[in-house]
Structure 1
Amino acid sequence: MSERHTAAADTAAAAASRVAVLPGENRAARRALLVCLAAGITTLLDQSVLNIAVPVLGRSLEATPAHVQWIIAGYSLTFGLAFVPGGSLGDVHGRKGLFLIGLSSFVMCGVVAATATHPDVVVAARLVQGAGAGLVNSQVIGTIQDVFRGLDRARALGLYAVTGGVATAVGPTLGGVLVGTCGPGLGWRLCLLLSAPCGVLTLWFAGRWLPASRSSTGRNGLDWWGLVWAGALTLALMLPFIRTPDDGRGAALWAGAAFVAAVVFVVEQRYRVRAGRRPLVHPSLARSAPYALGTVVAMAQFGSSLAAGLVLTMFLQDGLGLSALVAAAVSLPAAVAMGVTSAVAWRVVRRLGAHTVTVGLVLGVLALLAGAAATVTVPLAALPFVLAAVQLCSGAASGLSISPNQAQVLQHAPAEAAGVAGGILQMAQRIAAAISLSAVSGIYLRGGSHATDAPRVAYAQATLVCAGMLVVALAVSLVRSHGADRGHPRPHTATGDPGAGPAARPLRETS
């Protein structure tokens, strides 16, 4: 490993080693971070909790497969698309007001979805709820950037990544307990309502502890057309899996539409750069190979993880006829393993550097392949136990790859784009999740229809697709690690801080 790369790994490891302690000596800064973490947990837990309840929700409201896919994937879609404009608006108009607006809409739409009697209402509420979550989390990233600097900022971002990952892993267990103890009719509604008390409590603390909004005198130079074309590209990739074409011509039309949207997006971004205007994706981010490669790894890993968790819960309940509580028990080992490996991942980073992510991805691929093989070979009675063991390995793999990869990505963000690097990364992950959730759930819902044991074959097919996404991430991670070993330029901040900029403004107590 090169001397430069070893130094970068030591810096990331040092930040991670202190992640259990809230960064910063300013009490107001620590309070602001607690509010940010609470908001992140509330919004990121919401989707994973609902995943376990999707089968009973569909049966309760007589939802079609397309409804189910939109309920799950639509949240990630609007979450991702709202992230960058939310961050830009926060830069101009201040963050506290937008945080309160986003979280309030998130809570209210959760109540609307929980009390709905028609699947269309749930779909619409989840779309607006996802946009609210994106608005909130963009202010979270911006607030952390404003409040902390140097190593404290790296630690705060690390805490945000770890708590979000653990919340995502714990969600299915909580959802299974709610559905199992309260019954299918009430259980899925309680899953949607779970975010309400958490959100209200977070709103109260946010009003007291978040720093007062500071408006900028500059203009909001957000690239709205870039955002429109990014959304069009995402929809063109999603819709073929939600609406099955009658023949190959429909798929070809959607593929053509995606190609056109991608070309127009690239042309529009280059035009804005030549015109001296800010594009949606900062050009220096695209030119930074470590950042671009790490973002691709994050997209593939995040999409694969969410999609694999969704089809597992659908298979256990609809395919095997198990209760939501049993399905939650099968998913529980993943949450436990992820929590443990996330806590010790810094030790592995200290020894392996960038190769830590590669090791985690290898373990993840092997776990998914083992799960697919076991699904079609293991006797039905033993299958839940085998899948629980597979989940243990998958959770450990996620803990080794998610937070270390994010730290590496943001560490290599160019200094002139440090402020938007986190927002672009989050947007990319959520868009990847929207596409992956719609595609993989569509494969499961329509797969294996001509097989004798259709649900098992369909689940194996969907799992292999998730494994394929991780293989792509693994290949990209190997390329990045090889480049790091050859010696990339030093990270853009001497402290290893992902996005260190001007000194953070001191906070005054707002309560």
Structure 2
Amino acid sequence: MGTGGHADRHRTGHVDPPDSGTRAGTPERTRTDQQEAPRRWRAFSVCLVAAFMTLLDVSIVNVAIPSIRNGLHATESDLQWVLSGYALTFGLALVPAGRYGDARGRRNVFIAGLALFTVSSAAAGLARSASWLVAARLVQGAAGGVLNPQVVGLIQQLFRPAERGRPFGLLGATIGISTAIGPLVGGALIALAGPQDGWRWVFYVNLPIGIAAIVLGWRLIPARPHELQPRESLDPVGVTLLGTGVVLLLLPLVQEQQWHSRAKWLLLLLAAGVLAGFVGWERRYARRREPVVDLTLFRLRSYALGALIGLIYFAGFTAIFFIYTLYLQSGLGYSALLAGLAMTPFALGSAAAAALGGRTVNRFGRPLVAIGLTLVALGLAGTVVALHFAPGHTAPLAAAAPLLVAGLGSGLVITPNQTITLSQVPPSKGGSAGAVIQTGQRIGAAIGIATVGSVFFARLAASGGHWSVAFRDALFVAIALVVVTLAAAVADVVAGRRAARDARAGQAPTTSRTG
């Protein structure tokens, strides 16, 4: 009977407690956990600071674009690469870095990525030309991609399954806040430092934080566990195929506004062929050694559905900030600071709900994600209604309440979904498994910005420069993406309950015989 309940929780998307087989060593492990708990939470705090810094740089630069254009006389192509180049190299580095951390130890990889991020931030702030800034942003993105998988891997390493809800909740809050509050922080820095060179402080602010995190990370993050000492193959062919496929997939998406020729979409077909070759290679390679991506993880419904939900949701979620920033700054003439303030309700809601979601995900499982997606869809629909009745300069005030609702929903999506998705992944594969999810999120974000952005600019041109119309119609596309994500989550909940019901029905005769 107890075994059946354990199986039911797997099928319904709940996060399982530690295996009962560990109970023989419970007293000793409990004492060790009590001794190590303060240190591991301090180590995790360093990880959160580093993750916040790297994810903040995804959105903080948006509001600095006008200042960068004026300060460096940058072209539209230069500005596009400042924004999209970071996302491109970030996504490219995730999986190889996650695999390397799993195989060689996460602390050293974390520190190396953090050091490279800090140095490249300084280089970006010192940029004397647009090309210099683009190069620094490419390195900065790659460094962020090296660092972030180690955070997920360290959660898997430092915390047992039943304990991971809280750290994943804090990580989810960090993701939500960093994405949403980036424009506010960037706007405040530009307002304080001045419009001419204020954009440089968007990068300089990383220096003291990065240096402090390097020192604390080296002292607090545990070194590579002894059982991982044998050196493992890093699957260089698999890394090359995956990297090539990701670049071919992301490049036409991140350059969608700059490359006007339709021939760019042929790269997607080429990407599909390369990624198909990657899958074939990984299956063959896995017969002999550990591959860069363990494809057997996708046999777990919790992992496969969670990765899909993350990809589609980030397509809608990330695009919202892209079009809202354009609408407020270019359409309504808001300053960078005021545009950032307008997004604060979403950030606050996301932070509060992410912490709650992390604590309650073990109890509710995937239905919590479905509830969050419902709130996001309702909040965004409410934003459309609010902007219809209060267009123009009062729009941000009218949209504050529905954006708060959407933010609360988002906090119940990102954290619980990540916790459930990784719940059955062995700690030894935590870095690479988390990196695959993050890569999917980066691809989703690129797809969303390309799709929603295309609708935005097309409607702007067709309506004769009516920014509110363009924003409304683009927001409808973002809502549609959220609804598709909701459908996937609901399908998973229904399938999980059906599987649990079938399992109980199959065990009923056995139960009656054993009394």
Q: TM-score, normalised by structure 1?
A: 0.83
Structure 1 residue 421 and structure 2 residue 436: aligned?
A: no
Map of 1:18-167 to 2, 5 A cutoff?
Answer: 25-26=35-36, 27-167=38-178
Structure 2 Cα separation of the partners of residues 284 and 113 of structure 1: 40
**8 A contact 2:313–2:485 mirrored in 1:** yes
**8 A contact 2:375–2:405 mirrored in 1:** yes
- Quote how far apart the aligned CAs of 1:218 are: 2.4
| Structure 1 residues 239 and 431, CA gap change in structure 2 (3 angstroms) | closer
The structure with the greater share of residues assigned to helix is 2
Structure 1 Cα separation of the partners of residues 174 and 17 of structure 2: 18
| Structure 1 residues 5 and 362, CA gap change in structure 2 (3 angstroms) | farther
**8 A contact 1:88–1:220 mirrored in 2:** no
**Structure 2 residue aligned with 1:231:** 246
Report Cα offsets for 1:22-64 as digits up to 9, x if no partner.
x864143233222222222222222232233234434443434
- Quote how far apart the aligned CAs of 1:104 are: 1.2
Match of 2:256 among 231, 234, 241: 241
**8 A contact 1:80–1:430 mirrored in 2:** yes
| Structure 1 residues 35 and 6, CA gap change in structure 2 (3 angstroms) | same
| Structure 1 residues 147 and 341, CA gap change in structure 2 (3 angstroms) | closer
**8 A contact 2:348–2:407 mirrored in 1:** yes
Match of 1:457, SS? helix
**8 A contact 1:5–1:485 mirrored in 2:** no
The amino acid that maps onto 1:330 is A
The amino acid that maps onto 1:260 is G
Structure 2 Cα separation of the partners of residues 479 and 304 of structure 1: 19
**8 A contact 1:180–1:325 mirrored in 2:** yes
- Quote how far apart the aligned CAs of 1:112 are: 1.6
| Structure 1 residues 185 and 488, CA gap change in structure 2 (3 angstroms) | farther
Q: TM-score, normalised by structure 2?
A: 0.82
Report Cα offsets for 1:134-177 as digits up to 9, x if no partner.
21122223333333334344543443333333333332322222
Map of 1:325-364 to 2, 5 A cutoff?
Answer: 325-345=337-357, 349=361, 352-364=364-376
**8 A contact 2:52–2:174 mirrored in 1:** yes
Structure 1 residue 451 and structure 2 residue 467: aligned?
A: no
Task: Give the greater-gyration-radius structure (CA).
Answer: 2
- Quote how far apart the aligned CAs of 1:106 are: 0.4
| Structure 1 residues 114 and 462, CA gap change in structure 2 (3 angstroms) | farther
Map of 1:166-245 to 2, 5 A cutoff?
Answer: 166-213=177-224, 216-222=229-235, 223-235=238-250, 237-238=252-253, 241-245=256-260
CA RMSD of aligned residues (A): 3.2
% identity of equivalent residues: 33
**Structure 2 residue aligned with 1:474:** 486
The answer for unaligned runs of 5 or more in structure 1 is 16-22, 491-511
Report Cα offsets for 1:100-142 as digits up to 9, x if no partner.
2211110111122222233332222111111111211222233
Match of 1:453, SS? coil
- Quote how far apart the aligned CAs of 1:335 are: 1.5
| Structure 1 residues 438 and 67, CA gap change in structure 2 (3 angstroms) | farther
**Structure 2 residue aligned with 1:461:** 473
Report Cα offsets for 1:219-250 as digits up to 9, x if no partner.
3233223323432442355256143334x5x2
**Structure 2 residue aligned with 1:494:** none
- Quote how far apart the aligned CAs of 1:451 are: 1.6
| Structure 1 residues 438 and 277, CA gap change in structure 2 (3 angstroms) | farther
Structure 2 Cα separation of the partners of residues 103 and 94 of structure 1: 15
Match of 1:381, SS? helix
**Structure 2 residue aligned with 1:286:** 298
**Structure 2 residue aligned with 1:498:** none
**Structure 2 residue aligned with 1:268:** 281
The amino acid that maps onto 2:488 is V
Structure 2 Cα separation of the partners of residues 5 and 317 of structure 1: 52
